[in-house]
Amino acid sequence: MGLCLVGIQFVTNRPGIGLALVAVSLLVTAAHCQDQTAVSAKALSLAHAHQLALERNGDFRSAQFQVDAALGQLKAARELPNPTLGLSTAKISTDGVPEGTTLGNGLLSRAYDSIVSLSELIQVSKRGLLRDSANAGVHVAEFQLDDGRRLLIQGVTQAYVAALLAKEQAQVLNLSAAALRHEAEVAAHRYQAGDLSKADQSRIEIAAEQDELNAASQEAAEKAAVVALEALIGEPKANGGTTLTDSLESLASAPAADTDEAAVLKRPDIAAAEAAVNQAELNVTLARHQRIPDVTVSVLYERNPPVQPDTVGVGVSLPLPVLNQYSGEIQGALAAKNQAQARLEKVRVQATADVAAARVAYQEAAARLGKYQKSLLPRSAEVTRSVAYAYEKGGAALIDLLDAQRSDNDIRLAEAQAEADTAAAFSALLAALGRL
């Protein structure tokens, strides 16, 4: 945390006023520090945007809670069934005949037949499958969380790049408008000297105003893009006031990462689909094991004075699988397994296609950017400077100046677009390879 100091000096001979002024100065200092903190908090780098998105994005947090839910299911699968306590009393007289015995007329001495039982369900050949299936569900949720992280980082990067592109395009148009305003001033002098018509002067002013309007439109687009980025990173008061500290040039010239396609096999969406297939196979086995009856074991304590002494007993019960062979459950589990297998194959095909498409897009964008930066942009700037100099000296026509300025704008806007395409395509390539 930085230290914020504001130097304020008061000179007074009245202590009361001095104390009041000191208090005011402290309030001003605190407000100034808060303003500085608010300004600094609005500065956002791409790395910080990634961090905030992972902390505050609603969809990603929901995926985290899904992992917690899967862990809860695993914990439940590990628990033993609760025992069942049974209490029953029979042979209670309904005709008013006394029910006392030679032992007395107390509650435990009457001729009631009372039974206390304790039963426990024993799952036969299912507990291990239940645990394994729940554990596979945890793996599915964890891999889905990783995949959500991959897609979220890619989405934040694309939103950040889109905002930078709009900002860069607005700057290009503002610079063009400023250059044309300068030429309009030159044209005004030439008009007064009789070297230029009023129509030509107006054409330059119109071109400058058009660039200013286009720049204002791009600034509005930039703010809208920043609002979209703020929403993506979970900003509670998204208003487009965030300042982006990275540049398109730095993002487009990021150091090359490992783009080996072998990594695609470890993509989290593929891993999640594989874990889902594993869980579905376990569920098929579990459905088949439903045909094996679970056993309920009971212990009994019976009191029936004075006919017989207190007795204990044991019992075993189980359902007879004669009417329901669980064929519906097995069929449903098999269908779910086939669906999971089909999804796995689809995800693998899509992952390969993602890598191929992203690699082509990145290579094209990088080559286009290199062409603009090494050749087209310097040549266009040189031509524009030459035509502008010639126009100011009376050696070039107005149409030549406007054409050169318009062509230079197109080149610079296209170069900014190439930078944005390169940065976005590189992020998409890393995401396709599972390296985000």
Note down the domain range covering 157.
47-81+127-291+326-432
pLDDT of residue 15: 45
Q: Taking a C-beta distance cutoff of 8 angstroms, is the pair 383, 401 a contact?
A: no
pLDDT greater than 50 at residue 227: yes
In the predicted model, is pLDDT for residue 183 greater than 50? yes
Answer yes or no: do 415 and 299 share one domain: no
Pairing between β-strand 243-244 and β-strand 43-44 as defined by DSSP bridges: parallel
Q: Are 11 and 75 found together in one domain?
A: no
Split at pLDDT 50, 70, 90, the class of 357 is: very high
Residues 109 and 67 in one domain: no
- DSSP letter for each residue of 100-116: -BTTBSSTTTSS-EEEE
Number of domains in the chain: 3
Which stretch of 78-82, 320-324, 327-331, 412-416 has the lowest confidence by average pLDDT?
320-324
pTM (global) more than 0.85: no
CA separation, residue 170 to residues 35, 175, 218 (Å): 27, 9, 5
- Tell me which of 423 and 196 has the higher pLDDT: 423
pLDDT digits (tens, 9 = 90+) for 57-82: 999 999 999 999 999 999 999 999 99
CATH of the domain at 384: 1.20.1600.10
Q: Most confidently modeled of 39-43, 238-242, 302-306?
A: 238-242
Q: Are residues 148 and 241 in the same domain?
A: yes
Same domain, 117 and 236: no
Contact 252, 322 (CB under 8 A): no
Q: What integer pLDDT is reported at residue 34 of this predicted model?
A: 45
Average pLDDT over every residue of 318-325: 88
306 upstream amide cis, omega within 30 of 0: yes
**Among 4-13, 79-88, 250-259, 337-346, the least confident range:** 4-13
Residues 154 and 181 in one domain: yes
Q: How far apart are CA 234 and CA 164, in angstroms?
A: 19
For strands 243-244 and 295-304, give the pairing. Answer: unpaired
Q: Which helix (H) or strand (E) holds 412?
A: helix 398-432
Interval 28-35 mean pLDDT = 44
Same domain, 153 and 261: yes
Of 371 and 211, which is predicted with more confidence? Answer: 371
State yes or no: pLDDT of 37 exceeds 70: no
Same domain, 110 and 227: no
Q: Answer yes or no: do 378 and 248 share one domain.
A: yes
Any alpha helices (H) in 95-243, and if so which ranges?
127-192, 198-232
pLDDT band at 39 (very low <50, low <70, confident <90, very high): very low
Are residues 101 and 190 located together in one domain of the fold?
A: no
In angstroms, the CA 3 to CA 73 distance is 49
Q: Who's near 52: CB < 8 A, 6+ residues apart? A: 44, 233, 234, 235
31 and 116 share a domain?
no
Give the confidence band of 318 by pLDDT, cuts at 50, 70, 90.
very high
Residue 189 predicted with pLDDT over 90: no
pLDDT at 190: 72
Both 387 and 279 in a single domain? yes
Which residues, including other chains, have CB under 8 Å from residue 115's CB and lie 6 or more apart?
86, 87, 88, 89, 90, 300, 301, 302, 303
Q: How confident is the model at residue 128 (pLDDT cuts 50, 70, 90)?
A: very high
Q: Is the pLDDT of residue 36 over 60?
A: no
